[in-house]
Amino acid sequence: MESGQEGQQLQLRNLTDQDLIASEHFWTEELGFDMARNHMRRWHLVDPEGFFGIFLGDTLIATGAAVKQTSELFFIGSIGVRESHRGKGLCRQIINRLFERCPEGTFALFAVPECIQMYRKLGFEIVDNGTAYVYGGRAATLPSDNIKSAFRFEVVDSNKPELVRRLIEYDARLHGFERPIGTTLIDDDDGSTVVCSMEGSIVGFVRIASSKRDGGAFIGPLYADYSEVAYLLLEDILVRNRAQAEISVSIFVSSRGGFLAEKLKLELRDDYPKCCTNPDRIPTMEVDKIFAFDSTDFAIC
Ligand SMILES: CC(C)(COP(=O)(O)OP(=O)(O)OC[C@H]1O[C@@H](n2cnc3c(N)ncnc32)[C@H](O)[C@@H]1OP(=O)(O)O)[C@@H](O)C(=O)NCCC(=O)NCCS
């Protein structure tokens, strides 16, 4: 790879778990994006071979990851280059490296609006109905503590293997393929996941994690059979984690989930369209049941 400043060599290589602190620091401090506390670690555990960085000497100056979802489907996240090194083809080099893992594969991502033209140049197309609406801030309205409901709400953890099994099945049905949610949602020591059941069947679930920036609430994914259940799940998890919710709430809602953010009176900050390299090969999801995405990085929903 070409030389950087002061003759130091630029090196593109896989990111190990020791590199994750530098990578999280690069994203939150240098590029200014917030993320859930263990977000990068959770997805790195799923697919460590998918994470790359460019180093100038020992300093990380660019990152990119494509996490394997199925044998031919990858979800890209963390595409970023230090400001002083932009416009020199580093992003293109990382994306090409990600594609090398599976040249015939489908690669998807949520694009920040300023990058859509760039992703088009790199072979991506916008997917209809896939936009993530980024909401956040101090919630002006939080639910009261005495919610009454005919549904059953239960925190799920690895001590409830039968519930975890049913949750994985439910998630896979709505999502179009099975995800490693044991690693990404259940075994994470930060945050918790609540399942809603009716007459013994799961009808929705939601996850809360904490923001790296201020310890506030990161909500998502939120999947539910009905919008009423989606709202009750949101209420339930906010009431259980009120101290965190009072700091701030962040949520990436689908076109279906905007009412959830509006009920809390959160601020709409951005919209990130889903883009992908082979849109006709994306698995079919029950999009009307997907109210909030896990994140806009690494997870396809
Ligand atoms: C987006 C970003 C990663 C681009 O990195 P970069 O190293 O400057 O990009 P490259 O030099 O490899 O550019 C690749 C191609 O895209 C084009 N391009 C880059 N940024 C572009 C933009 N904002 N709009 C249109 N085209 C753009 C380049 O001209 C180049 O095309 P070419 O090879 O035909 O000349 C960088 O600007 C960045 O880190 N932004 C902040 C973080 C961010 O928003 N990440 C995206 C999350 S989805």
Digit-coded pLDDT (tens) for 154-190: 999 999 999 999 999 999 999 989 988 888 888 889 9
- Band the pLDDT of 193: cuts 50, 70, 90: very high
CB contact burial 210-220 (16+ within 10 A = b; e otherwise) = bbbbeebbbbb
**What is the average pLDDT value for the chain, to the nearest integer?**
93
- Band the pLDDT of 215: cuts 50, 70, 90: very high
Name the percent of the chain in helix, strand, coil, to the closest 5.
35, 30, 35
Question: Which amino acid, one-letter code, is at 265?
Answer: K
Distances (CA, A) of 144 to 20, 90, 197, 227, 239: 38, 49, 21, 19, 7
Ligand 1 atom at minimal distance to the Cα of residue 82: 39
pLDDT of the residue at 150: 84
Model confidence, pTM: 0.92
Cα of 202 vs its chain's centroid, Å: 22
Cα of 74 vs its chain's centroid, Å: 13
Helix (H) or strand (E) holding 141: none
Which residues surround ligand 1 with Cβ inside 6 Å? 31, 79-81, 86-92, 111-112, 114-115, 117-118, 121
SS3 at position 136: strand
**For a substitution probing ligand 1, which of 12, 29, 88, 92 has the most ligand atoms within 8 Å of its CB?**
92
- Band the pLDDT of 3: cuts 50, 70, 90: low
Cβ-Cβ contacts under 8 Å for 234 (sequence gap 6 or more)? 143, 206, 219, 222, 260, 263, 264
pLDDT of the residue at 161: 94
Place of tokens 């896990």: 294
Residue 290 alpha carbon to ligand 1 centre in Å:
30
Q: Give the closest residue to 261 by CA, choosing from 241, 291, 285.
A: 291
Residue 114 alpha carbon to ligand 1 centre in Å:
9
- Architecture of the domain spanning 135-292: 3-Layer(aba) Sandwich (3.40)
Ligand 1 atom at minimal distance to the Cα of residue 296: 48
Ligand 1, atom 41: nearest CA belongs to which residue? 80
- Band the pLDDT of 80: cuts 50, 70, 90: very high
- The domain segmentation of the chain, as residue ranges, is 5-110, 135-292
Cβ-Cβ contacts under 8 Å for 90 (sequence gap 6 or more)? 10, 54, 61, 62, 81
Residue 182 alpha carbon to ligand 1 centre in Å:
34
Q: How far apart are CA 70 and CA 52, in angstroms?
A: 19
What class is the 5-110 domain? alpha beta
Q: Quick one: what percent of the chain has pLDDT higher than 90?
A: 82
Residue 54 alpha carbon to ligand 1 centre in Å:
15
Using the predicted structure, report yes or no on whether residue 301 has a pLDDT greater than 70.
no
SS3 at position 6: helix
Check if 5-110 and 135-292 are the same fold: yes
pLDDT of the residue at 5: 56
Ligand 1 atom at minimal distance to the Cα of residue 114: 23
Residue 255 burial by Cβ neighbours in a 10 Å radius (0-12, 13-18, 19+): middle
Q: How far apart are CA 257 and CA 121, in angstroms?
A: 31
What mean pLDDT do residues 104-113 have? 95
Residue 109 alpha carbon to ligand 1 centre in Å:
14
pLDDT tens-place string over residues 235-291: 999 999 999 999 999 999 999 999 999 999 999 999 999 999 998 888 888 989 999
Residue 48 burial by Cβ neighbours in a 10 Å radius (0-12, 13-18, 19+): middle
Residue 57 alpha carbon to ligand 1 centre in Å:
22
